[in-house]
Chains A and B, each alone.
Chain A
Amino acid sequence: MKRTTRVMLSILLILVIYLFVFFAEKFMDPFIKRVLNTGFIYVILAVSLNLINGFTGQFSLGHAGFMAIGAYTSALLYMSPEQKLSNFFMEPLISPLDQIQIPFFWAIIVGGLMAALAGFIVGAPCLRVKGDYLAIVTYGFSEIIRSLFNNLQNITNGPLGLKGLPTHTNLWWTVSWAIITVIVIKRIVDSSYGRALKAIRDDEIAAENLGINLFKHKVLAFVVGAFFAGVAGGLLGSLLMTIDPNSFSILFTYQIITIILLGGLGNITGSVIVGIGFAFLMEGLRFVEMPMKIFGITIPGILGMRMLIFSILLMVTILFFRQGLFGHREFSWEGLAKLLSKRKVSE
């Protein structure tokens, strides 16, 4: 298949998705719309974390920290001065943040850039360690961010969090950012840079002995991943209308790691499908936390039962599908064409 054909088909697919978004925004049930929005934010998070953990092989647990930075930065930029005033009643917000208000789009971008900057600052010292150590150091980073945001009363409003954020996030935003994330990361992975990242994952010593600067490329993956995590944080803040430091705890990172493990490390298709599926499962499984009557015995509702189901799902995946549910099978137009032609032959 020619490159131009593939590009045309991809553009067509994107148009179809936007057509869906158009109708969804008009006619769809607000609850399902909300779940879909969350799903697309999960996609952004999972695909960006996959660049770091899956393709570059650097096991990072810092994604929630980058999200928090993105969420707070953008929220403080797109909130109106009056909203800020009503939020910061304990201690006033420092100037000039209390007077600034910029459009949502730019606020999200700045949030992403701040997260990327944090990714660079954190990545530079952290990426000198590998494996489990890197996981611990990045986990530490995300906890430091949480603790900082809990205590910086005059910037983040501390544990009170920010409430009554204007709802800008809708399917247009989340879908567009999810598409941008997938395209950018897919293009990185398919380029010469992606080959270098995968080489680092497979064998650092061999990669270095081919003249690849390990440090530079690891930081690169970290910065790009952090940028999109920041963007996702900004979108999530405006969707939930409220953010507080504790909502960006390590549990959030675990959820994203669950998604990329289920979808397959280094598999973008898997991250996208499981990301959206995860959001629906999270809502669909709410019934297990309700009080239930089984065989005449009443079981009181237990909060957190959903996570138990995800844990079981994760264990089954790791035991029986080591490569994730999708393995190394990526979506491609060639693959689809082959599948369709095969089906025709069998008919």
Chain B
Amino acid sequence: MMLQLVEAESSKKPSVKQTVLKMEHVTKRFGGLVAVSDFNLDLKEGELLGLIGPNGAGKTTVFNLITHVFPVSEGKMEFYGQDITKLNTDKIIRLGIARTFQNIRLFTNMTVKENIMTAFHAHLKSDLFTSVMFLPKYQREEEYIQNKTWELMKEVGIEHLADYKSSSLPYGLQRKLEIARALATNPKLLLLDEPAAGMNPDETLELNQLILRIREKYKLTIIVIEHDMKVIMNICERIIVLDHGVTIAEGTPEEIQKNPLVIKAYLGAGDEDA
């Protein structure tokens, strides 16, 4: 009886949010250029973090470091407590990090449907023999992939374009396809690199809703890089501002908007400095 009570108590108590991604003193140097210097991050489960900064500030480099497109020069990264600093890209992705790209990277010779189906391969359980022989185990997996793909296409609203070549889609829809493809890897953390680039205001509004909706539905933690302040200020709970690889500010959208350092980074120095 007592035990039951205690259990009930503990389940009611709001649990402390788990840390999804922890980055400590992460630095990246390309020769003499310091692209990212001493970047620190403690990202909690369910958070929606914005990463902003002028061109060349090192935002995309941070994403490339997380997914190990190139190794960090210094520092440490942990994903749900597991050290991922030295893991290869494909392993990191399989742990549950997915990303989209600033310059869209779709498989241009494949259809919309195939693009998403490809993303399920990382978690495929059937081996080559089972797949080639089309054994029942593989048939079941293939069916699961088909259903899930359909579900994801509906989620982002491209199901009517399933059999079109991915390169024939308009820009905005290509971005959505990339998000759907990233979701297909079953991520816990989603990295969106300028998802609103090239979208008109209506599409941007729709994108905001999409991001909030998928966060809810797939229990995601999200980091967004974006230049469009309509996205950043409306949906992000916390913002980090980078300039020349250095973190110059961190806080809520309101705090960031008032921060003089941020204004200086974006608009240049005021008259008194000139």
Q: Taking beta carbons and an 8 Å cutoff, which residues of A are in contact with B?
A: 184, 187-188, 191-193, 195-196, 198-199, 201-203, 205-214, 220
Contacts and interface: CB of A to CB of B under 8 A. Distances in A.
A199 B106 CA distance: 9
Contacts of A205: 69, 101, 105
Given A209-B67, A209-B89, 13 more contacts: A184-B132, A192-B141, A192-B142, A192-B145, A193-B128, A198-B110, A202-B110, A209-B69, A210-B118, A210-B122, A210-B185, A211-B93, A212-B90
Given A192-B121, A198-B110, A202-B108, A214 B142 contact: no
Contact of B131 (A191, A199, A202, A206): A191
Given A198-B110, A202-B109, A220-B128, A211 B185 contact: yes
A137 B121 CA distance: 29
Given A199-B107, A206-B105, A210-B93, A187 B118 contact: no
Contact of A212 (B108, B122, B126): B122
Contacts of B79: none
B93 A195 contact: no
Contact of A211 (B90, B117, B131, B145): B90
Contact of A198 (B69, B107, B141): B107
Contact of B121 (A188, A196, A203, A209): A196
A203 B109 CA distance: 10
Interface of B: 67, 69, 88-91, 93-94, 98-99, 101, 105-110, 114, 117-124, 126, 128, 131-134, 138, 141-142, 145, 181-182, 184-185
Contact of A195 (B98, B101, B105, B117): B117
6 contacts: A202-B109, A202-B110, A209-B69, A209-B93, A211-B91, A214-B90
A184 B88 CA distance: 31
B interface, by DSSP: helix, strand, loop or mixed?
helix
Contacts, number: 100
A208 B90 contact: yes
A184 B120 CA distance: 22
Chain A at the B interface: SS class: helix
A202 B185 CA distance: 18
Given A191-B138, A192-B142, A211-B94, A206 B106 contact: yes
Given A192-B117, A206-B105, A208-B90, A187 B132 contact: yes
Top 10 closest A-B pairs, CB basis?
A211-B122, A211-B93, A206-B105, A202-B107, A191-B131, A195-B118, A196-B121, A211-B94, A187-B132, A208-B89
Contacts of A208: 89-90, 93
A191 B132 contact: yes
A331 to B, nearest CB: 19
B89 A193 contact: no
Contacts of B117: 192, 195
Nearest to A187: B132
Contact of B120 (A188, A192, A201, A206): A192
A196 B132 contact: no
Most central of B119, B120, B141, B181 by chain A CB within 10 Å: B119
Contacts of A191: 131-132, 134, 138, 142
Contacts of A206: 101, 105-107
A211 B123 contact: yes
B164 to A, nearest CB: 14
A210 B132 contact: no
Nearest to B127: A193
Given A202-B109, A211-B90, A192 B185 contact: no
Contacts of A184: 132
Nearest to A211: B122
A207 B110 CA distance: 13
A192 B127 CA distance: 10
Contacts of B109: 198, 201-202
A328 to B, nearest CB: 8
Contacts of B126: 192
A212 B105 contact: no
Nearest to B166: A202
Contacts of A196: 118, 121
Contact of A192 (B93, B98, B131, B182): B131
A214 B117 CA distance: 17
Given A193-B128, A193-B131, A210 B119 contact: yes
A58 to B, nearest CB: 15
Contacts of B184: 210
Nearest to B138: A191
Contacts of B88: 213
Contact of B124 (A192, A199, A203, A214): A192
B194 to A, nearest CB: 15
Nearest to A328: B109
Nearest to A205: B105
A110 B108 CA distance: 39
Contacts of B121: 192-193, 195-196, 199, 210-212
